[in-house]
Chain A
Amino acid sequence: MAEQTTQPPNELDRAAEEAGFYHEAALNAAWTGSRFAIGALAFLYGAFAFAYFYLRSINSEGRWKGSGYHAPQMGYGVTILVLVLVSAVVQYAGLQRIKAGAKGAWQAAALVALLLGTAAVVVQILQLLSLPFQPGSSGFSSVFTDTYPVLLVSWLAAMLWLEILVMRARPLTAISFLEQPPTYAEAFAVQRFQSSLSAFTLVWNFMAVVTLFFFLLFYVL
């Protein structure tokens, strides 16, 4: 804590003004950054989707799936999809609750979302360790083996982010989500936390849509 009582009043006001300016910029940066992160992720996963459709359409040597094709285990696929989707929905609902001032409700929702997302990571690892095909046995198996480890890493990174948010929320008082906190420092900390949470929720929702998209490609089409 840096008490600024020794500075002249004008400089004190200026420090507060500049702090406010950069605080506002940081809030906007979280908003903008999450949108650009989604753009970058869309192009990354777009590369995998392109590989899927490209290899599927040319069916090189008749081996897009080939003879003796084994589909990936539907049970694993559905489980992972449900875990990720429910995690995203729970987190989204939690965000709405904390926006309404209920910090405790969000904390509970976040823990559930964290648990479900981590479970999705674990189940995905289990599936990759017991795939019914060799990675290079066909075009399909290759793209499947390409895509899911990257999704897994993305889910893991998202869960790490959520865990950090859960830890960040701990020292913030519940009342500060309902009323204007007494100091700028506390107000700024709460606002920054909320902007990070909004950014995370957006990215996690996007990841849920990506998971659904690839589920449709690999398990349904």
Chain B
Amino acid sequence: MSIDIEPEKAQEPAGSGPIGPRLARPWWMRPAMHTGIIGAILGYFIGHWLGNFLSWEYARNALSDMNDFPLVLGYVIAVVGWLAGLGVFNDLGRQILGKPVPAAEEEEEAFGGVARYFRFSLDHKVVGIQYLVGMIIYFCTAGLFAMAIRTELLSPSYHIMSSSAYLMVVGEHGTMMMMLMSSVVLGPFGNYLMPLMIGSKRMAFPRLEALSFWLTPAAFIILLSSVLIGGFPTGWTGYAPLSVQAMEGMDAYAVAFGLMGISICLAGFNIIVTVINYRAPGMRWSRLPMFVWSMVTVSFLMVLATPVLIGGMYLLILDRTVQTANFVNTLGGSSYLYENLFWFFGHPEVYILALPGFGIVSEIIPVFCRKPLFGYRVAGAGMIGVALLSFFVWQHHLFVSGINPEMRPLFMLTTELISIPTGFIYLVAMGTFWKAKLRLTVPMLFALALYFNFLIGGISGVFLSDVPADTTEHGSFFVMAHFHYTIMGGLIFAFFGACYYWLPKMMGIKLNQKLGYLHFWTMFIFFNSTFLPLFAVGMAGQPRRVFEYATNLTPLNDWVSISSFLLGASILIFVINFIWSTVIVREREVANPWNSRGLEWQVAAPPPPGNFEHIPVVLSGPYDYGVKDAPAVADLHPPVGVVSASYASAGTASTGVEA
């Protein structure tokens, strides 16, 4: 078979585009972060001026006596300017004008070196690294806010900040963690590794993928800018009517959360379409790594739940700018409308955070047990079950907030039911550990810690799902301890486990193992030392988001605060290790240091451009450790004709195309 024209370069009507002229420009004229920043600053001032111009005749909204329209328009046009400066709209503009658009691979070939990490790159591996660095920065910033909270709580009556400043810090910490950390696994590891794991050379929608990342710095900066204008008093939930009444800092919350919602939705959309359509021949659904299954289930939640959040934030912005009354009870609205919209997203959000953690540890434990993953299908069913049920539990957040009492038992039941598929995931772990000789490497320790921490978080969650218990503990530090055990104890431990497990593959360098062990043990000890006493503090009646408390709780609070500082120091060990190993020492790592069967481990470290030399043909599942005569996981150099045979029979019926 001969071919006249390389098809992939003719993705758009007139074939490949002329990228030479763009390279000829000086670096400071090429679209990258610096042009994005210039665009954002210009956009903000234009938007603010335009907002004042358009809204000069109405000076206040329904509740807050303020006109926030200029600020919100400033934020929105700043984001547009940021994206325009990054060059996000360049290809769109070319398409609108009917000009040729270069294929993603062609664009990537034109730009290399470190500079590509600062630009709108269409390479999923670059986007993965961008996400990784971004998420570490966001996490550490939010962590500093947590340090500030615990510093304030060292004393019940002596204050280092005002009550409003304390609320601002609590809000910034909570929102940054819940909003930005939604992508802490899917962003770096999902984007980087998932194509490698399914045997693909590319993503389905690389531009959407890159856009999903570049929206996160915008959301981060906008949320942080709230500090400059008084912050917001609502915590991460943004409950109305307080959020409608609050000062301008609330606008930053609503715009940032809405933006992040768009980012999450796009990221999930790209991942799920890629998994469905870009799997290598032989990569059947029953051979998908559990990490990919977790990405699929999370992506479903992201695509379906976050549009409701975007809608909720949009309604809040309209209430605060164009004077609608969606959440103003006296004008025909309802504050409960916000609560319902928020939690319809908010509870699936909890599983958007939890499920990737399960995916990571399911990937790690068979490698270090040298046993097949026990109950592969059960694990998949558990993830799907958790994802489905997560849509039917949101009202348990409103047990004491005005829900119809007759609805309580139903939502109590659905909430308790979700512990069953979660139990599947534990069953899989226990079965895998059974009679295994565990290799206690750093990633494995983090994986084991997840099971320990999440067990405490999960059991306290079942306890809280009961209406009587929730009625007693609602709004207390008990609830706070519960969700930190599930999210930090689950997701963040898994994230660090993934860093130690996959960074050697992603960056081709060794992370210092001694520092890794030190990081793990200090983090594990001080995490538990921080959050376990908070159950007691909560049971003793200390409420969340209040900066004064009963004097008799001082010793416990001091213990927790000191532990939290040490917990922060443990994270610092990771940051030092990360910079030391990746920037200073850069000791090369072999391609498969863990002797893993995962497809991503069968290529060089770091993976070459295009991931695989040829499209691989997957021959067996990824977990056949210790199985005698287990076939190789894939043929990386299949004979010509095998790949085409895999799609020749599929035809074009499913595409709706009749060529």
Contact = CB atoms under 8 A, between A and B. Distances in A.
Given A43-B304, A171-B13, A58 B334 contact: yes
Contact of A40 (B269, B277, B333): B269
B277 A32 contact: yes
Contact of B95 (A12, A26, A150, A167): A167
Contacts of B4: 1, 3, 182-185
A156 B78 CA distance: 21
A20 B202 contact: no
A194 B657 contact: yes
Nearest to B330: A61
A47 interface: yes
A126 interface: no
B2 A12 contact: yes
Contacts, number: 267
B189 to A, nearest CB: 21
A14 B614 contact: yes
Q: Give the secondary structure class of A's interface.
A: helix
B7 interface: yes
Given A64-B332, A136-B328, A195-B657, A15 B6 contact: yes
Contact of B307 (A40, A51, A137, A145): A40
Nearest to A135: B324
A16 B3 contact: yes
A191 B652 contact: yes
Interface in B282-312: 303-305, 307-308, 310-312
B640 A28 contact: no
Nearest to A192: B11
A33 B615 CA distance: 23
B332 A185 contact: no
B303 A36 contact: yes
A135 B273 contact: no
Interface string B631-659: 00000000011011011001010111111
A184 B5 contact: yes
Interface in B1-46: 1-16
A169 B653 CA distance: 22
A135 B276 contact: no
Interface in A88-122: 99
A88 B530 CA distance: 59
Contacts of B333: 55, 60, 139, 142
B655 A195 contact: yes
Contact of A189 (B13, B322, B330): B13
Contacts of A155: none
A6 interface: no
B655 A27 contact: yes
Contact of B332 (A20, A44, A142): A142
A198 B60 CA distance: 46
Interface string B307-333: 110111011001100111110111111
Interface string A186-210: 1111111111001000000000000
B657 A27 contact: yes
Contacts of B50: none
B176 interface: no
Interface in A43-77: 43-44, 46-48, 50-51, 54-55, 58-61, 63-66
Nearest to A177: B659
A145 B273 CA distance: 33
Interface size grouping (class) on chain B:
35 or more
Given A187-B659, A188-B10, A195-B655, A51 B646 contact: no
B615 A40 contact: no
Contacts of A169: 13
A29 B2 CA distance: 26
B204 interface: yes
B269 A33 contact: yes
Given A39-B304, A40-B265, A40-B307, A28 B655 contact: yes
B273 A198 contact: no
Contacts of A185: 4-7, 9-10, 15
A171 B100 CA distance: 11
A160 interface: yes
A40 B205 contact: no
B6 A14 contact: no
Contacts of B646: 21
A22 B11 CA distance: 11
B97 interface: yes
A15 to B, nearest CB: 7
Interface in B400-438: none
A183 B378 CA distance: 48
Contacts of A28: 276-277, 654-655
Nearest to B322: A135
B237 interface: no
Given A43-B304, A163-B96, A183-B5, A143 B326 contact: yes
Contact of B659 (A10, A20, A190): A190
B515 to A, nearest CB: 41
Interface in A117-162: 134-143, 145-146, 150, 160
B278 interface: yes
A186 B10 CA distance: 8
A139 B325 contact: yes
A18 B202 CA distance: 12
A86 to B, nearest CB: 23
Q: Looking at A28, A54, A191, which has the most chain B CB atoms within 10 Å of its CB?
A: A28
A142 B319 CA distance: 9
A105 B351 CA distance: 49
A160 B96 contact: yes
A41 interface: yes
B540 interface: no
A82 interface: no
Given A19-B3, A185-B10, A32 B276 contact: yes
A136 B331 contact: yes
B323 A21 contact: no
Contacts of A187: 659
Contacts of A17: 615, 640-641, 643-644
B337 interface: yes
A63 B334 contact: no
A150 B307 CA distance: 12
B332 A188 contact: no
B332 A25 contact: no
A174 interface: no
Interface of A: 1-4, 10, 12-33, 36-37, 39-41, 43-44, 46-48, 50-51, 54-55, 58-61, 63-66, 99, 134-143, 145-146, 150, 160, 163-164, 167-172, 180, 182-195, 198
Counting from the closest, the 8 A-B pairs by CB-CB distance are A63-B332, A47-B311, A139-B332, A167-B98, A185-B5, A44-B307, A136-B325, A142-B324
25 contacts: A19-B6, A19-B8, A20-B7, A21-B615, A21-B646, A23-B7, A25-B277, A26-B277, A27-B652, A29-B278, A31-B655, A39-B303, A40-B307, A41-B307, A43-B308, A47-B308, A50-B341, A65-B332, A142-B332, A167-B95, A167-B97, A170-B98, A185-B7, A187-B659, A191-B655
Given A2-B9, A24-B647, A191-B652, 14 more contacts: A29-B204, A30-B655, A32-B272, A47-B307, A135-B324, A136-B328, A139-B326, A139-B331, A142-B331, A164-B95, A188-B7, A189-B13, A193-B13, A195-B655
